[in-house]
A and B are shown apart, each in its own frame.
Chain A
Amino acid sequence: MPAPRRPFTSTIPILTLFLVLATQARTAEPVSDATADAMLQQAWKDASSNLFLEAAQGFAKAEGREARLGGAITLLARQPKTASNIEAAAKSLTALVEENSRDTVGVMARYYLGRVEQVHRVPSNPAAAAAHFRRLLEEHPGEFWTEQGAIKLALIELHEEVGRDERLARLTRHAEYASSMRHRPARRDMHLLLADVILRFQLGEALALEQLLAADEAGIVRSAPRAQVWVQIAELARETGREDIARRYYESFLASYKRDTRRKLVSERLAALSANTQEVAQQ
């Protein structure tokens, strides 16, 4: 009498075990450099597309300092935002800086430590943030993230409660630094920030004009802010008697922005400038 056949279901545990072992063997295989790099690139790509959860999972699977940096930075956006996530991100960034503060990852980690203190931690700690940005300026001048840190430092220092003279002194210091910045986007944003502060705290129209001209020279990318800056330059130039600049910027504005509610006012300003010039010429 033949042995009874074992039912198919009895093989399921064996098959499952086999599959688990096969999967583990597969995951235990060393990931090639190319695959690891591709995984890292995908994680950054996900993060750049606002897919923070997917990015965090990608960074968790990858290895190395860059993956740890990515993991720490994406923690800053993890929902719900919790103090423990922010603290964990800060710890991770600190470890990266302590291991090596000189490579790109170290510099970025220092910048993001400053940002944690400035805008992510509740309550924020502007003094601690400023200390990180100052360290970047001392240790890594001219680096991309250092120059971004300089803008954030200016943001802190120029909005502290100080008297007019002190604010002007700080402004002069930041303006000097701005003209030496290597990266155009940073130079542009620093000049724009300085112009904001000068106008808002009413520190002098001629001073604001210089900053806006420098910002425009560095290149304003977005259309609407560029229109705004061109009008500001033209207006400030007109008010400070630099009519040639005013005329040039009014004309550029009218030529470039055909659908703007300021066109009529700008046209009137330009006509008045031309009338003034004619009057002077006739005299």
Chain B
Amino acid sequence: MKREKIFNTIGLTLLAACFLFSLARVVRRGEAAADGTVDGRAVVRFAHWQLEGGLREAMDRLARDYEAVNPNVRVEQIAVPERTYKQWVRTQLIGGTAPEIVQLGQGADDELLARFIMPISEWVDKPNPYNAGTDLENTPWRETFVDNMEAGWNYRPNLAEYYGASMSMFTVRIFYNRDLWRRLLGDTPVPKTYDEFIEICERVRSASETTGRVVLPIAGSRENGSMLAFRLFSTQTQRLVRELDREHTLRPENIDVALAFLRGEWSVDSRGYHDGLAIMRETGLHMQPGFIQLRRDDAAFYFLQERAMMIATGSWDAPSFRAQADFEIGVFAIPAPSRDHPRYGANVLGQVSEANTGTGLSFGIVQGAARSDLALDFLHFATSRANNETFAQVSGWLPSVVGVNPTELIEPFVPVADGYLGGFDPTLSMLGANTLLTVQRSLNRLVDRAGSVASFTEIMREQLPDALREDLGRYERSTLLNVQRQDVILAALAMHGGAAMLSNQTGKLSEMLEAQNRAESRREWVLEHLADGR
């Protein structure tokens, strides 16, 4: 009885201590949020969902370096798991407790950005002060990024505002286990052509059968399998997409490709589409059976546990893999068929260019942040050429700023600028959820041993038209919502800016009118196809 009482007392004391500790933390944080200082130092907090190896260390290094030159500032990093980031950031923003800087992307949309994220358009045309003394000294901040800050969440055409500055960019490559390669394939070099790649897959399979050690040629999953198979598919639609260029842009968008399908200008029987399926099947057969049901973690396990020789994934996985693998990792570009390939060459224009690889890992400043001036200063600091180089070296991720020299580890991921525009993939390059789902749920019929190109084609013949129509309908509705919102903003810009705004040819009003009129023109064209039930 007495013993029970002692335990209860200890328990209660611990509980009370925990409560008091938490309370103190919350109060301290509340104080910090109220006046933006802790221990007399101004606080800048930034949140992101990148838990990959190396990334947090790189961000931490930038934070400490910033503190070294700004001793009155304390920079805190908040890493939130990807699965909960969307809910977390929304709750923080709505509750007014968000950190000064948040990673943009998960759960973001134009409405959220407009309401909670501070536009940085005012600063993007001015130089980044932390580039002083370099050849970027007088270059507008926007132009110091390899994509001119135009990709993803940095610039929102519907709002005609810049919101984010990004730290990195991403490309997809094939990673391989060098030790296993040497054991099973000797000194065979990495494949340069598609045929060499398939031959290596077959050799791995037969070596695996001979030695009794089960090693898959390629670790697949819904995400990783698709990265490789879709990329190869898109080599087969390179010429087809050129034929669908009704507007003479040399780069029809996925919406144009879908509309051309509804007009009957191409079909699931078109040669490019058919051969795209064939090449997907050929590659898919070298992954584990049923890989479409697996997720990226499963594929990573296969590779890291040396049960697969290769895996196709993005540059973001490189540092994690290097940290976790007990073997040496090599990287090579996805070998696509060339123009003179006897089976697939007729559909190919040439090597696919990655010149338009957009930047990512984009950060925005929260509207009304206590120290938005410091948050902006930290973003300038982190995206200066010197600090982006530090970030790239420590994280092993690609840089986002022009002129940053890639290290040896990053070199294989640098986007290939030379080449032609790629074709579309079987999801029409993510036209929408319905097309994606339609393709994904039937992929087994294509890449399983019992499946075939013909059986997958039959399913697509039946289901693809409706899926495309539904996605085009969704596109039309979301365009309408943006157009409606723009109507209000346009009136406000005109009235708030007065005569000066109306006569400004290049200002925000002009920019938004251009965006709205372009969007409405395209929407009418989509409606034209949906209305007549093509």
Contact = CB atoms under 8 A, between A and B. Distances in A.
Nearest to B485: A77
Contact of A188 (B159, B483, B491, B514): B514
Contacts of A193: 517, 521
Interface string A228-268: 10011001100100000000000000000001111111100
Nearest to B499: A144
B147 A259 contact: yes
Interface string A38-65: 0001001111111110010000000000
B525 A73 contact: no
Given A51-B115, A76-B484, A148-B513, A159 B528 contact: yes
B75 to A, nearest CB: 28
Given A50-B485, A76-B487, A192-B518, A155 B493 contact: no
Instruction: Please indicate which of the listed interface residues B419, B480, B488, B511 has the most CB atoms of chain A within 10 Å of its own CB.
Output: B488
Instruction: Please indicate which of the listed interface residues B249, B250, B419, B502 has the most CB atoms of chain A within 10 Å of its own CB.
Output: B250
B492 A155 contact: no
A260 B147 CA distance: 10
Contacts of B488: 47, 52, 73-74, 76-77
Interface in A103-137: 108, 112, 115, 119-120
Contacts of B527: 159
Contact of A112 (B111, B150, B485, B491): B491
B496 interface: yes
Given A108-B491, A155-B524, A265 B421 contact: yes
Contact of B511 (A74, A221, A228): A221
A159 B524 CA distance: 7
B146 interface: yes
Interface string B91-118: 0000000000000000000110011000
B505 interface: yes
Contact of B521 (A51, A155, A222, A259): A155
Interface string A209-228: 00000000001111111001
A144 B356 contact: no
B251 interface: yes
Nearest to A41: B496
Contacts of A199: 246-248
A283 to B, nearest CB: 29
Given A50-B115, A259-B146, A221 B421 contact: no
A183 B502 contact: yes
B420 A261 contact: yes
A185 B521 contact: no
Nearest to B420: A264
A259 B517 contact: no
Interface string A53-91: 001000000000010011001101100010000000000
Nearest to B247: A199
Contacts, number: 164
A200 interface: yes
A264 B521 contact: no
Instruction: Please indicate which of the listed interface residues A70, A108, A188, A261 has the most CB atoms of chain B within 10 Å of its own CB.
Output: A261
Nearest to A148: B513
Interface string B133-168: 000000000000011101000000101000000000
Contact of A50 (B159, B511, B528): B159
A156 to B, nearest CB: 9
B151 to A, nearest CB: 10
Contact of B353 (A220, A239, A261): A261
B495 A70 contact: yes
Contacts of A148: 513
Instruction: Please indicate which of the listed interface residues A41, A48, A76 has the most CB atoms of chain B within 10 Å of its own CB.
Output: A48
Interface residues of B, number: 57
Contacts of A73: 487-488, 491-492
Contact of B250 (A45, A46, A262): A262
A67 to B, nearest CB: 11
A228 B484 contact: no
A144 B494 contact: yes
B489 interface: yes
A interface: dominant SS: helix
Contacts of B515: 222
Contacts of A48: 489, 492-493, 496
Nearest to A218: B505
A180 interface: no
Contacts of B484: 76-77, 81, 119-120
A89 B48 CA distance: 41
A224 B150 contact: yes
Nearest to A228: B249
A261 B150 contact: no
A73 B484 CA distance: 10
Interface string B407-439: 000000000011111100000000000000000
Interface string B231-253: 00000000000000011111100
Interface string B338-372: 00000000000010010110000000000000000
A181 interface: no
B513 A265 contact: no
Nearest to A55: B492
Interface in B189-245: none
A152 B524 CA distance: 11
B324 interface: no
A33 B356 CA distance: 53
Nearest to B114: A50
A74 B492 CA distance: 9
A98 interface: no
A47 B251 CA distance: 36
Nearest to B159: A50
B489 A47 contact: yes
B478 to A, nearest CB: 13
Nearest to A197: B521
Instruction: Please indicate which of the listed interface residues A55, A112, A224, A262 has the most CB atoms of chain B within 10 Å of its own CB.
Output: A262
A261 B356 contact: yes
Contacts of A144: 494, 502
Instruction: Please indicate which of the listed interface residues A45, A50, A112, A219 has the most CB atoms of chain B within 10 Å of its own CB.
Output: A50
B171 interface: no
B248 A232 contact: yes
Contacts of A96: none
A202 interface: yes
Contacts of A41: 496
- Chain A to chain B: the 6 pairs with minimum beta-carbon distance, closest first: A50-B114, A47-B492, A48-B492, A44-B496, A189-B517, A235-B248
26 contacts: A41-B496, A44-B492, A48-B492, A50-B110, A70-B495, A73-B491, A108-B494, A151-B517, A155-B520, A185-B505, A185-B513, A189-B514, A193-B521, A196-B522, A199-B248, A200-B246, A200-B247, A221-B510, A222-B157, A222-B511, A222-B514, A231-B249, A259-B417, A262-B421, A264-B350, A264-B420
Given A50-B159, A159-B524, 4 more contacts: A119-B483, A221-B511, A264-B353, A265-B250
